[in-house]
Amino acid sequence: MTKSNKILIVEDELYLLNILCDKFKREGFKVAKATDGHKGLQAAAKTKPDLILLDIVMPLVDGVTMIKKMRADKKIAHIPVIIISNLSEVEKITEILGAKTGVIEYLVKSHWSLEGVVKKVKETLQVYNLLKMSEVKK
């Protein structure tokens, strides 16, 4: 991971959004944020983040719809997504993860810590950076 990694956080709970933004800024990330899937799509297209932390249940455009629209847009289709949500229903998780939408991880909000989320983001970016480097060498 490099200090210049950009992350987009899409979360409609403002308190949680601000806590996540502050934490990632302290960890050296450039942070963009959005409060619904529609704004998240706009922010992803504008900022081209290295990774998106995405809530599922949001107003206007939910997280599942946002992922589907992202994957249809070649400019942002490659961005890895880590889901953060209060949803813990097996069917919904299976739908999201089984759709081959580029979701890397699914974190239920009540089961993670800020440090755990940061660690998962760093690990994911490390893997993606290694994959990018191996593609360049080909």
pLDDT tens per residue across all 138 residues of the chain: 455 689 999 999 999 999 999 999 999 999 999 999 999 999 999 999 999 999 888 888 888 888 888 888 999 988 988 888 776 555 565 565 555 555 566 665 655 677 888 888 888 888 777 776 666 555
For residues 6 and 121, the answer to whether their CB atoms sit within 8 Å is: no
Structure tokens at 93: 């998780």
State how many domains the chain has. Answer: 1
Question: Is there a domain that residue 112 lies in?
Answer: yes
CATH of the domain at 12: 3.40.50.2300
Question: Is there a domain that residue 1 lies in?
Answer: no
The 8-class DSSP code of residue 76 comes to T
Question: Is there a domain that residue 32 lies in?
Answer: yes
Question: Is there a domain that residue 17 lies in?
Answer: yes
Structure tokens at 12: 């409609």
What is residue 122's predicted lDDT score, i.e. its pLDDT? 86
Q: What is the pTM of this model?
A: 0.80
Question: Is there a domain that residue 84 lies in?
Answer: yes
Question: Is there a domain that residue 29 lies in?
Answer: yes
For residues 43 and 20, the answer to whether their CB atoms sit within 8 Å is: no
What is residue 1's predicted lDDT score, i.e. its pLDDT? 47
What is residue 26's predicted lDDT score, i.e. its pLDDT? 94
Structure tokens at 55: 């809530």
Question: Is there a domain that residue 92 lies in?
Answer: yes
For residues 32 and 43, the answer to whether their CB atoms sit within 8 Å is: yes
Domain that holds residue 89: 6-137
| Residues 75-84: b if buried by 16+ CB within 10 A, e if exposed | ebeebbbbbb
